[in-house]
Amino acid sequence: MTQTATIIGGGVIGGGWAARFLLNGWNVRVFDPDPEAERKIGEVLGNARHALPMLYDQALPAEGALTFHDRIDEAVEGAAWIQESVPERLDIKHKVFAEIQAACDAGAVIGSSTSGFKPSQLQEGASRPGQIMVCHPFNPVYLLPLIEVVGTEASDPALLDRASNLLRSVGLFPLRVRKEIDAHIADRFLEAVWREALWLIKDDIATTEEIDNAIRYGFGIRWAQMGLFETYRVAGGEAGMKHFIDQFGPALAWPWTKLMDVPELTDELAQKIADQSDAQSGHLSIRELERKRDNNLIAMMRALKQQGAAAGRLIAAHQKTLDLPPVEETPMITVRRTVPVDWTDRNGHMNEGRFGQIFSDAAEIVMDVAGAGEDYIAAGGSYFTVENTIKFLAEANAGEPVEVRTRVTDGEGKKLRCFHELVRTSDDTLLATSDQLMLHVDMKTRRTSLPTPEVAKRIAAFAAAHKE
């Protein structure tokens, strides 16, 4: 049964939450009195539809239904997840929570996107305080996986666990914060960097662009895949973390930073920052910057996925929970996915080498369903490609949904021959074909051999069923 999420507040963060749930197959209801809410969420959703599917090597679930509601009680009735993303004013949040709890199920998760308030502050005066928790995301919510989950002694432990499991089911990473604290964990780091950056600008030491360059060309890349402490452990060399602390710890006593002091954000300083930011990025619209950000995040996270590290490991684990294409059909649907941005070349379309990869992925699915998958290979048998003729018929571009339709055309003896068709599913355009001949190989001798009788029988059955 399709689950329902309700989003209260449809700004940038609320829109990101809506997109994350919607693109993972949930029905989503939105309440926001802003008359522009539907347009704004539509624009966020457009970016999310372009971006999120490109992280995965198979298709996400079919989208849920998105509806907009004029009343909170209608929006929250029967919802399993309710996410509050209204302005950071405690009085507004308390009013919204009261309206939510008057109409929602007692077992529903009520999460708050607050970046600053503690859950105990949110729970003040609530009819069911244990139902309300902090679920603080990072923008864009549809791509960045971190959600800081914070409860209190009044929180229902079972509900916190269920919230974490639901977040994992849509590809997010719930970080359970042990004790409530102002600004949780991640924003405290961001605040420290922000304060230091303000001083560097105020004192004319660096511009906004120079500060951004220091981050994106240096430690920002390291942090993206190792975080803070693992990065410094490596910096300690063979002697490890203790050596690093002994070597660099004394620097903590030096007056390097002004973290305990905050520059006054005068009109002059604010204008200085704004002018430098305009010079840095003013030639791009916000939507263009968002698309640039999303494409960069996709390429980086896909690289991490290939290495099985950090956010990439999370994506790979979530991908395993997604439904595979219906290979029992004729022709087999062996691949169903979106063309990722890191598969494109200087012409802006899919590189010819990636056509070979997607057809290779399709052949591996045929092997899997024939019983010649990873266990079979580990036992000493596999199929190697000896000939592949690819015809390129039309362009495939980043963000386009595609599928591979496969027929087994020869399954006699050592042979496994497949004819693949790569199709853009949005308009059924045939993009490329592949006539691929594989031979069965003994993995010990690396020479051709006959498959096991069970595999041979399945492949012969495919060939018979796929005759036109």
Mark the binding-site residues for NAD(+), compressed into ranges.
9-14
Binding residues: 9-14
Q: Hey, what amino acid is at 29? A: R
Contact present, 305 and 379 (Cβ < 8 Å): no
Please tell me the distance from the alpha carbon of residue 16 to that of residue 36, in angstroms, as a whole number.
16
Tokens 């993206």, residue located: 224
Contact present, 443 and 392 (Cβ < 8 Å): no
Please tell me the distance from the alpha carbon of residue 404 to that of residue 335, in angstroms, as a whole number.
5
Q: Hey, what amino acid is at 37? A: A
Question: How, if at all, do strands 173-176 and 146-150 pair?
Answer: parallel
CA angle 411, 412, 418 (to 5 degrees): 25
Please tell me the distance from the alpha carbon of residue 324 to that of residue 140, in angstroms, as a whole number.
27
For residue 134, what are the β-bridge partners?
112, 150
Please tell me the distance from the alpha carbon of residue 62 to that of residue 23, in angstroms, as a whole number.
7
Please tell me the distance from the alpha carbon of residue 404 to that of residue 402, in angstroms, as a whole number.
7
Conformation bin of residue 194: beta by default, left when phi > 0, alpha when psi is -120 to 50: alpha
Contact present, 363 and 385 (Cβ < 8 Å): yes
Counting Cβ atoms within 10 Å, is residue 294 exposed (0-12), middle (13-18) or buried (19+)? buried
Contact present, 454 and 371 (Cβ < 8 Å): yes
Tokens 């809410």, residue located: 37
Please tell me the distance from the alpha carbon of residue 235 to that of residue 241, in angstroms, as a whole number.
8
Contact present, 372 and 381 (Cβ < 8 Å): yes
- Residue 306 tokens read as 């290939």
Contact present, 64 and 45 (Cβ < 8 Å): no
Please tell me the distance from the alpha carbon of residue 274 to that of residue 270, in angstroms, as a whole number.
6
CA angle 4, 10, 13 (to 5 degrees): 95
Task: Concatenate the DSSP letters of all residues of 312-328 into one string.
Answer: HHHHHHHHTTSPPP-TT
- Hey, how many other C-beta atoms are within 10 angstroms of the C-beta on 268? 10
